[in-house]
C-alpha cells in the first residue's frame, strides 16, 4: 500500500532526514519512492 504524503513527511522528519527541503523536492522524492515501492 503506498503511503500518503503526510505519512512520508512524518517518517522523514522522525528520522531527521528532512530539514529544510522545499515542497517541489519532497514531491519528486515521494514520486520516486512510490515508483520503487
What integer pLDDT is reported at residue 26 of this predicted model? Answer: 66
Residue whose C-alpha cell is 530539514: 19
Tens-digit pLDDT profile for residues 1-37: 688 888 887 877 776 655 545 566 666 777 787 887 6
- Supply the pTM of this predicted model: 0.36
Tell me the residue range of the domain where 23 lies.
Answer: 5-36
Q: How many helices (H) and strands (E) does the chain have?
A: 2, 0
What integer pLDDT is reported at residue 23 of this predicted model? Answer: 60
Number of domains in the chain: 1
| Pairwise CA distance, residues 26 & 11, whole Å | 12
Angle at 34 between CA 33 and CA 36, to 5 degrees: 65
| Pairwise CA distance, residues 8 & 2, whole Å | 10
What integer pLDDT is reported at residue 34 of this predicted model? Answer: 80
Amino acid at each position: 500500500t503506498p503511503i500518503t504524503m503526510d505519512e512520508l513527511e512524518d517518517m522523514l522528519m522522525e528520522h531527521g532526514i528532512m530539514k529544510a527541503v522545499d515542497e517541489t523536492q519532497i514531491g519528486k522524492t515521494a514520486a520516486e519512492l512510490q515508483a520503487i515501492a
